[in-house]
Amino acid sequence: MDVSQYLEIFIDETKEHLQSLNEQLLVIEKEPENTDTINEIFRAAHSLKGMAGTMGYKRMQKLTHQMENVFSEIRNGAKKVDANIVDVLFQCLDALEEYLACIQETADEGDNDNEPILKQLETILNGSAPKAQAEVSKETAKESQKVETEEAKEKYKDFVYADFERHAITEAFDKGINVYTITVFVDENCLLKAARAFLVFKSVEGVGEIIKSNPSAQDIEDEKFEFDFSICVVSKESLETVLTVIKNVSEIADAIGEKLESIPGDGKTEDSENKEILPAEDEKKPAAAAAKAAPAKSQTSKPIVNRSVRVDIEKLDVLMNLVSELIIAKNGLVSQSSSEEISQSQAFNEQIEYLERVTTNLHESVMKVRMMPIETVTQKFPRMIRDLSKKLNKKMELYMTGEDTELDRTVIDEIGDPLMHLLRNSADHGLESGEIRVRRGKPEVGTVCLDAYQDGNNVVIEVRDDGNGIDVEAVKNKALDKGSITPEQAAAMSDKEIIDLLFKPSFSTAKVVSDISGRGVGLDVVKTKIEALGGDIEVKTELGVGSTFIIRLPLTLAIIQALMVELGDEKYAISLGSIQIIEDIPVSDIKYVQTKEVVNLRGNVIPIIRLDEVLDIESSDEEESLTVVIVKKGDRLAGLVVDKLIGQQEIVIKSLGKYISNSKIINGATILGDGEVALILDVNTLL
């Protein structure tokens, strides 16, 4: 048995506990008397300590043990939560996250002992519990230990040895090697008893050999024991050495034993004793029932087991690829069925419809498995805003809605950094200082909001603040100073075009470069990442009122519903999520504004984009009317001129790799039913 096989589980569960600690510490900072939260933090620290001990991460175990001690004092009422304690505990969390990052990379916790933090925790502890109380608890512990000692001796005196075990003990006596019977007590708060027992066995094997255990090794591995078990050990070391080795294992409350001078049982073996054991067991039933009463109580308060299974994302990718191939096969059958000979068969068409239903349902099911709530990313932001509030000396609150909105796992993994950039930007650049806000008649506490919601085939995430807003003139002047635009261009630019300059590389309006922002590496990175995910970002701002950054992301990156169109002899796909309406527009309705073609459609002036010109395709001769696909990006509309509509189809997006990396208009490719390849157009880059 190798502990490293639990590494993945350890990493996942540690992340969950650290996130829980983060959230609970934010609560206790505002509600220092909240006993439920204090208990939650104690439990999370205790669990982390146990897990770190099991995996052999001593530094992590030591730090969480001290955290647990601090909260033990707070639970007892010997210590009150104050700002200093909360700050130190947040430092502990940062240190634990550092250990975890190290473990993820190297499977080792590193060599940072975090002595300054441990000293601060020690200082908090030293000024805590009254001595009288400590003395009382020591006396109580001694009394209970006496009882345990008597019980333990009874336990290992009940050992019944099989013939081969007797032979091993006799051989040890002949060679002058010690034989000890030991009972080990596991901490009653221990979560992984079997793991603790395994570590005890492993530790003892370093100083001797275990020839018997009660219960059996298999029962111990299956956790079929209370909080103690007995072992018979053959060792050249002293009893004290063996007991010390056992007690050094984390969450082992105690271990007691004695040296065996002769084999008990007067020649009776395990088989011959079976009948005699049964009455003895029956006599013990009342005591056993009493011992089990306490654990039974605690079991009622156990949380309901989370009905979820962790699945490796690579396995899901394989499943997704199989679904993709199935959809391509289905599309092939659909295109075959359109031929006149086969379309005569009603049974064939019914099978096609059945296959279509199955593939669509299978696709939706796999997509649901790949979906994760956006909360997995946003849950770390309240702590970040709390730290920024202290660092910038600005009062601010973060409000979040729609955390249960779901996104594809691959999108979730990538969206965390861009959102963090935008929130830091709002806190640093957006919100004014408290004095300025009061002068402007605003509340002293600034507001940063993060809202997520689903809109058709997209998920929209908005980051907004009630701060200063973007000073368009300042951005324009900065761009002129840097030579990014000419005075002529500046005069002709709309406010929106000027704001878009903020997304250019190395563009920053910050007057002071800090470690929070102002180096000009924020918004261009944000835009690049979001566009790489097939999404887009836009900004709405009002000077003195605030700014809103709106991110739109596709729900999935693998399979989409698309409109198939023809341009010349080539076929293209346009995502249905972007399409508003399809119009037949007479050529005579097309007007020109600043040499660009537009059409007035029900009061909206919509620019016309000739796809044949953009894609350099020889189009068919112009007719009296044009087929125009009206697409939307945020508030903006545009009309894409196509030669012919083929129809709606479920398509599989295949990456083009590096083949057409220089063209942002092409988002990928898909394989049609007849085996032909069609390119997928990215509407966001056209608008």
Average pLDDT over residues 390-416: 86
Instruction: Band the pLDDT of 447: cuts 50, 70, 90.
Output: very high
Is the pLDDT at 266 greater than 60? The verdict is no
The least confident of 194-198, 260-264, 307-311, 502-506 is 307-311
Confidence label for 508 from pLDDT (cuts 50, 70 and 90): low
pLDDT band for position 462 (cuts 50, 70, 90): very high
CA distance 286 to 341: 83
**pLDDT per residue as tens digits for the range 98-112:** 888 888 888 888 888
In 503-578, DSSP assigns E strands to: 536-542, 546-554, 559-567, 570-575
Q: How far apart are CA 312 and CA 306, in angstroms?
A: 18
Lowest mean pLDDT among 28-37, 155-164, 302-311, 430-439: 302-311
Q: What is the pLDDT of residue 283?
A: 38
Q: What pLDDT was estimated at residue 285?
A: 38
Buried b (16+ CB within 10 A) or exposed e, 380-418: ebbbebbebbeebebebebebebeebbbbbbbbebbbeb
Polymer length of the chain:
687
**pLDDT (average), residues 24-37:** 86
Read off the pLDDT of each residue in 415-430 and give the average, rounded to a whole number: 88
Given CA atoms 380, 382, 386, 388 in this order, what sign does their dihedral have? positive
Most confident of 138-152, 375-389, 511-525: 375-389
Residue 274 sits at the vertex; the CA angle it makes with 272 and 276, to the nearest 5 degrees, is: 95
Positions marked catalytic: 46, 68, 425
Contact 460, 530 (CB under 8 A): no
Mean pLDDT of the chain: 78
Q: Residue 549 has what pLDDT?
A: 92
Highest mean pLDDT among 384-393, 524-533, 656-665: 384-393
pLDDT at 299: 35
- In terms of DSSP H, where are the helices of 393-507? 409-425, 434-439, 472-482, 487-492, 495-500
Question: CB-based contacts of 230: which residues, under 8 Å, 6+ apart?
Answer: 152, 155, 156, 159, 181, 182, 183, 184, 213, 214
Predicted confidence at residue 491, as pLDDT, reads 82
Please indicate whether residue 366 or residue 389 has the higher confidence score (pLDDT).
389
Q: Mean pLDDT throughout 227-241?
A: 90
3-class SS letters over 149-204: HHHHHHHHHCCCCCHHHHHHHHHHHHHCCEEEEEEEEECCCCCCHHHHHHHHHHHH
What is the structure's pLDDT at 305? Answer: 39
Distances (CA, A) of 98 to 7, 14, 417, 426: 16, 12, 18, 27
Using an 8 Å Cβ cutoff, are 248 and 206 in contact?
A: no
With H, G, I as helix, E, B as strand and everything else as coil, classify residue 388. helix
Q: What would the two tokens of residue 653 be?
A: 């997006």
Q: Give me the torsion for CA of 381, 385, 387, 393, rounded to 10°.
A: 170
Using CA atoms, how far apart are residues 102 and 252, in angstroms rounded to an integer? Answer: 27
**Does residue 632 register a pLDDT over 90?**
no
Q: Range with the lowest mean pLDDT among 35-39, 96-100, 553-557?
A: 553-557
pLDDT above 70 (res 334): yes
Does pLDDT of 182 surpass 80? yes
pLDDT value at position 506? 63
Phi first, then psi: give them for residue 450, nearest 5 degrees.
-130, 115
- Give me the pLDDT at residue 461, please: 92
Give φ, ψ of 526 to 5 degrees.
-55, -50
pLDDT tens for residues 641-674? 888 888 888 887 877 766 666 567 787 888 887 7
Structure-model confidence comparison of residues 659 and 452, the more confident one:
452
Nearest to 250 by CA among 60, 18, 19, 4: 60
Residue 19: both structure tokens together: 């996130």
Instruction: Say how many CA atoms lie within 13 Å of 654 toward its Cβ.
Output: 14
Distance between start and end Cα atoms, the chain: 59
What are the two backbone dihedrals, phi and then psi, of residue 213, each rounded to the nearest 5 degrees?
-140, 150
Q: What is the per-residue pLDDT for 158?
A: 64
Taking only the tens place, the pLDDT of each residue in 536-554 is 888 888 888 899 999 988 7
- Which sign, positive or negative, has the C-alpha torsion 652, 658, 659, 663? positive
